[in-house]
Structure 1
């Protein structure tokens, strides 16, 4: 079992009386906004990438001036050839500083931060096909099934999972389970104890008015952190959630296909798999292999996900995010070969109640044959699923 990863996290000290000012106008903040917003994280982590020290965190917004006025930063951001550069976007920021120090002190009105620069940890993932996600309280059995699918179907040989302060189990429990189930897979679990951030869209709506996606920093931050501290030398990286299973209509590995594209990037759409089964599953009790029925009445769409070759991305022009590789020319292209199955039955319902199970009606629900075949090849077909093979003779003849 691998050791926990140390983060050099910096926060605004409470006695400063200063906080990050929210980018969302007060009239668009719902009652949950204040509890969900990250008011005080300056840097999630401070770590080395080659000649640079990377100070990586949420967008600094009104906190930027205080950081750059500090003696340490000011001396590196002035002159004809500044040694420090800020790359800031609406949901993430990084200072890249050419410096060889292993320990630094940044003192400002935001506090005195004595920082041990953390090592780069990309070597274990060099040349690997990496499965990556951010997770909170997903059942460990679900996580193991998710890994099992991608190892068997796509040839994943590494997993990088960011645990967002799970309370149902410890990150050590998760590390131990991954090590026992997949001894030949490189696996790291990173404790990521930061506020996820207020939702946008209708999830963050006020009086029926959609909110902008401007305050959810945690997930983009975890991706940028994974990208630079762990995955710079990875062969390819797939970004999908625990409830998302990618398939090719040609039987190809998504990693291999991405590596063969000129831009090293594939983006693909998704569709929902119902929580309805022919054998009946109670909410929260199913496994991936239980669910493979398409609902003819499904109307919701799924935002795209992606796979990337890190070496073909630009650290200054591109940003990894949940559904996009921002700044990439190929970001607008959706693959016609790959699609992911979004499993309604694999969810804790943190964002919305997704459980849609109802009585099985053969005329309404049809098997996703490719998904069911993938479960069988991965050894994931739940025993209870076998009774769902007892479909009507007419349906068996139609397959």
Structure 2
């Protein structure tokens, strides 16, 4: 039976601040087959099956250029052969897809011109028809964009993150992938972003897919968390192709500069078009004032470094176990097309192997919901190890937190 995967429209708040929805293809709409996990049973936690996305064939189909459509998907795994034999039919004719297999992510690229209308897929998986989302890179043309994924973060935290990046780095646009928030809807979040002075445009992209099971530790069994990696490649091709520069940052992360230069400016002036930088944790201290602090707590309520914890790595090198994995800012148009936008680096691009010391970010331990692990337990203040972050405190003074 042929099923039409319904087209999800862009819902405009105004012509500069919008919410968008993908046009996904769930397997359950046209076949009994499902994606099968590759992780050995012995290493699957009790919630693995609940969290694993076995049903999303692809997240969205996007007209990435006038002659090409890309389908952004979790890895196909056991479905790969069925995908390879699938034929795609549009008003312009019939074509096969070229497959890109990336880390925890897959793409299908089709040579189909824009305005071709819905596309029909025929193959061993079944028959279904899907709509194509437009290329919306013009929204962010020449903008300095901060982009993130968020779920149920208090809107106050999100707006503080926007204001900091606006006043410290000159961000003038925001792209948020909302991963199924229930505390508010995308229109409410979009309206809040619209209220922030100095933000030229914003997109709240609804991304209601399973995030996926995490790895066992920093190294092992990172094989099933597809959601964010799919979102970052989707962001690159649907929204950010023409951005002046784009910063990958979580709501609980704020970037500091040692030189006074904006991180966007540094990326734009870099001969590679990329800057990558490490992070340090900012923690809460049990000083007897917790109950007197405003709720929810805000970034500016915290300024104490987490002390380093040195130990030997797997390669027997001394490292700080309390350090944060790097983040990055890039000029999208200068990033190689074969590279993959990853959470902590840009894969398959030699420039991403280096980190600068001109920038670092602060990772706020208490700006979070403990969704991944318990991280907000406070410790008593010890003046011998707990030091205030003077650079962060000075940056806070330069932010207009009210507008």
TM range (shorter): 0.7 to 0.9
CA contact (8 A) 2:172 2:198 kept: no
Instruction: Confirm or deny that 1:273 pairs with 2:282.
Output: yes
SS of residue in 2 equivalent to 1:142: helix
Query: Given the alignment, which residue of 143, 147, 162 partners 1:128?
Result: 143
How far apart are the structure 1 equivalents of 2:211 and 2:192?
Answer: 25
**1:297 Cα shift?**
6.2
**Residue 8 of structure 2: aligned partner:** none
Query: Given the alignment, which residue of 186, 198, 213 partners 1:171?
Result: 186
SS of residue in 2 equivalent to 1:56: strand
Number of paired residues? 368
Query: Given the alignment, which residue of 312, 322, 338 partners 2:343?
Result: 322
How far apart are the structure 1 equivalents of 2:401 and 2:378?
Answer: 20
**Residue 307 of structure 1: aligned partner:** 329
How far apart are the structure 2 equivalents of 1:8 and 1:292?
Answer: 42
**1:35 and 1:345, CA in 2 relative to 1: closer, same or farther beyond 3 A?**
same
**1:368 and 1:95, CA in 2 relative to 1: closer, same or farther beyond 3 A?**
same
**1:114 Cα shift?**
1.6
Instruction: Confirm or deny that 1:59 pairs with 2:95.
Output: no
**C-alpha RMSD of the superposition:** 2.1
CA contact (8 A) 2:308 2:323 kept: no
Equivalent residues in 2 for 1:362-373, closer than 5 Å: 362-373=383-394
CA contact (8 A) 2:30 2:128 kept: no
**1:89 Cα shift?**
1.4
**Residue 95 of structure 1: aligned partner:** 108
Instruction: Confirm or deny that 1:76 pairs with 2:91.
Output: no
How far apart are the structure 1 equivalents of 2:286 and 2:244?
Answer: 37
**Residue 290 of structure 1: aligned partner:** 301
How far apart are the structure 2 equivalents of 1:337 and 1:71?
Answer: 50
How far apart are the structure 2 equivalents of 1:269 and 1:201?
Answer: 22
**1:139 Cα shift?**
0.7
**Per-residue displacement from partner, 1:242-299 (whole Å, max 9, x unpaired)?**
0000111111100000111111111110011111276723597310010011244665
> What TM-score does the superposition give when structure 2 sets the normalisation length?
0.86
How far apart are the structure 2 equivalents of 1:106 and 1:335?
Answer: 46
Runs of 4+ in 1 over 6 A off after TM superposition: none
**Residue 395 of structure 1: aligned partner:** none
**1:365 and 1:19, CA in 2 relative to 1: closer, same or farther beyond 3 A?**
same
**1:380 Cα shift?**
4.1
Instruction: Confirm or deny that 1:25 pairs with 2:40.
Output: yes
With 237-246 and 169-178 compared, the bigger mean Cα shift is at: 169-178
How far apart are the structure 2 equivalents of 1:365 and 1:113?
Answer: 59
With 56-65 and 254-263 compared, the bigger mean Cα shift is at: 56-65
Unaligned stretches of 5+ in structure 2? Answer: 1-12, 310-320
**Residue 313 of structure 2: aligned partner:** none
